[in-house]
A and B are shown apart, each in its own frame.
Chain A
Amino acid sequence: MKKILVVDDIEANRKVLRQMLMLLKEYIVVEAVNGKEAISVFENENPDLILMDVNMPVMNGYESALEIKNRTNYIHTPIIFVTALDTEFTLTNALKSGGDDFVGKPFNVHVLESKIKANLRIRELNQKLNDRNIQLSNEQNLIEHFFDTALNKSYLDKDLIKYHMSPMSTFNGDLLLVEKGPHGGLYLLMGDFTGHGLTAAMGTLPAAMVFFKMVKKGLSVSDISRELNMQLNLLMPTGMFFAATIIEFNFREDIMTIWMGGMPEVYVISNNGGIKNVINSQHMPLGILNDESFDDNVKLINFKKDDKVYFYSDGIIEATNPQGDMFGSNRLKSILETRSIDQFHAILDELNLFTGISSQHDDITLVELTCRDTPDLNVNSALTYTDHDLLPWSFSISVSEVEIRQTDIIHEISEVLSSLPQLSSKKTWLVIILTEMYNNSLEHSLLGLDSSDKKDDENFIRYYENKSIRLKSLQNALMTFEFNIFSENGISIIKMKLSDNGVGFKEIKYGVSKESLYGRGIGIISELSERFEFNDDGTQLTVFYKI
């Protein structure tokens, strides 16, 4: 049942209306005797519609309507004026004061009923719209939370990185991420998704996830660009793409590695002023090409300490003034050419002055990065190694020339070895030692190559060519690896024995000539292991490695 407030100072009028409404059986009626009382009944009873008389003592209908409309902050409450004064003046005032409709006195019950229904429909539509808006804004808050969490872990040092990001709506299709890598370098990703608003911002989530994940692993700019392209190509609909600049700053070598696709130029400003480099995009934006056609080539640029690098999105150069002219890249460049000013703020000031009152048409981003290393914020977590009692494992494997030619034997063996928890952190060391043992056995004992053949460049290459040739014709070869894990004076040792059926390794003059092209393999084994020994005319090498 809808509730209708009837406002009239004359009891007889209220009675007529009340009875008429009661007959329709759809309404509850509440009453007020003047405009002032109408306000308090409105507040207490929250009616769905008001039938308002015009001339009343204490407060007339116009004033009352005005006041009620002012107090309505959420749902539209229709006010229908009921008046005998159907002059133009009355009607205009009725609508001006916030009234929504009027019926003339004496009234026709059908007209009144239709007008009530029509106005209640408007109230219902308004109610639906409000509910929808509340739902939308809840959803928007939730999405904002997602973006904040995903994008805010960015490493933005305020001394070294100045940035201005001005999305044209709540959500930004421009993205700026800065993070330190495990090698101490600084990675920066700045980009601009097609369009603006939520649709453009959607892409920033996967882009940020890929970026942070790869930076954490310390991967190269080429690899990051390729992965971003592949992921965005998969995710985004055709026609949507991500113009981006990806940079890694190496502060030890003072080199920046840069991949740019579809972005406006990047400026490098010398530490004593003046434009030093202008770097232009060399690629298409990310997310367009498939992996095969994608080009991950990067540019290398030298910089000096305290040089400044400027990045911006096209929102700046395409910003327009009230006359419709664009800010343009020349205006930007001439500020950057000016020495001894705070160029970052000069650009923003000039941009504000230029655009004046005209509205923003795209997301705007401007970044200034000063090339200087900062203390590492990432604390390298040292591998914690819990000691377990080692089981006395032993196992062996024999391989013939078939496996030698076809398989990465050392890789497979080391995978097996490193599956033991105590050996997993030693995997790389074991790979290095096993590789040298294996190379030694294969090259010298089985293939009969003489390592002094490697003594100069040409022979070095010929040596490995010979290796490939002889490997192809190798026959009846047998290599046996034996592994034993045991304890010796409380120290865990892995004993690795490699025997072969070849001619044996003859020259045991390892470690003598560290600068030459040969004889280093045994030197490496010697340095990394506890001890080692050759037996059986050099066809058997045993290495003891402390776990």
Chain B
Amino acid sequence: MNIKSTLSDDNKILIIEIKGKFDFSLLNTFRDSYNKYSEIPNTAIVDMRQTSSIDSSALGMLLNMQRYLCKEDRDIKIINCNEEVNKVFEITCFDKKFTIEKI
């Protein structure tokens, strides 16, 4: 399992953890990890502590997620990014659209 998602009992917090390379091979699993729930959580957190690298298709997948979740004013945080992953977010200005937290 390269993606593990956990929703809190009150349906308010969703944490998605991604392991290894975050690329288009995770397309469907990643989408399922946030749209399988009946209620949309207030806070969604993508935990990248074990994400080794990301590519441009992963960025597209994150944007898709944002479009799905953020129809109202909701927050998506991407946390525990390593140096390289963080740099990719910076280069692509993703740090303006998401809350990105480095290690």
Contacts and interface: CB of A to CB of B under 8 A. Distances in A.
Contacts of A411: 21
Contact of B79 (A252, A297, A300): A252
- Among A222, A253, A257, find the residue whose CB has the most chain B CB atoms closer than 10 A: A253
Interface extent on A, as a size class? Answer: 35 or more
A255 B13 contact: yes
B97 A300 contact: no
A524 B8 contact: no
A300 B8 contact: yes
Interface in B1-55: 4, 6-9, 12-13, 15, 17, 21, 23-24, 27, 31, 43, 45, 47, 49-50, 52-55
Contact of B97 (A218, A461, A515): A515
A66 interface: no
A310 interface: no
Contact of A528 (B24, B49, B87): B87
Nearest to A519: B56
Contacts of A219: 49-50
A257 B55 contact: no
A361 interface: no
Contacts of A467: 24
Nearest to B4: A222
Given A253-B79, A461-B27, A464-B24, A300 B101 contact: no
Given A253-B79, A257-B15, A298-B6, A431 B53 contact: yes
| A-B residue pairs, 8 tightest by C-beta | A300-B8, A428-B84, A527-B91, A521-B56, A520-B56, A435-B55, A517-B60, A514-B93
A514 B92 contact: yes
A197 interface: no
B7 to A, nearest CB: 8
A183 B49 contact: yes
A429 interface: yes
Contacts, number: 105
B91 A528 contact: yes
A327 interface: no
Given A300-B8, A515-B93, A220 B63 contact: no
A365 to B, nearest CB: 26
A517 B97 CA distance: 13
28 contacts: A183-B49, A218-B49, A222-B4, A222-B17, A257-B6, A297-B6, A300-B9, A300-B15, A301-B8, A411-B21, A428-B53, A428-B84, A429-B84, A431-B52, A432-B55, A432-B88, A435-B23, A436-B55, A436-B56, A439-B55, A454-B60, A457-B64, A460-B60, A460-B64, A514-B93, A515-B97, A517-B60, A518-B60
Contact of A521 (B43, B45, B55): B55
B92 A523 contact: yes
B6 to A, nearest CB: 6
Contacts of B27: 461, 464
Contacts of B24: 464, 467
Nearest to B81: A183
A439 B55 CA distance: 9
A302 interface: yes
A299 interface: yes
B67 interface: yes
B80 A218 contact: yes
Given A183-B49, A219-B49, A524 B77 contact: no
A182 interface: yes
A432 B53 contact: yes
A411 B23 CA distance: 13
A82 B91 CA distance: 102
Interface in A205-220: 218-220
A183 B97 CA distance: 22
A257 B15 CA distance: 10
Contacts of B54: 432
B53 A435 contact: yes
Contacts of A520: 56, 59-60, 92
- Among B55, B64, B93, find the residue whose CB has the most chain A CB atoms closer than 10 A: B55
B84 A432 contact: yes
Given A182-B103, A255-B13, A523-B92, 14 more contacts: A220-B47, A252-B79, A253-B79, A299-B8, A299-B9, A300-B7, A431-B53, A432-B53, A432-B88, A439-B55, A460-B60, A461-B27, A520-B56, A520-B92
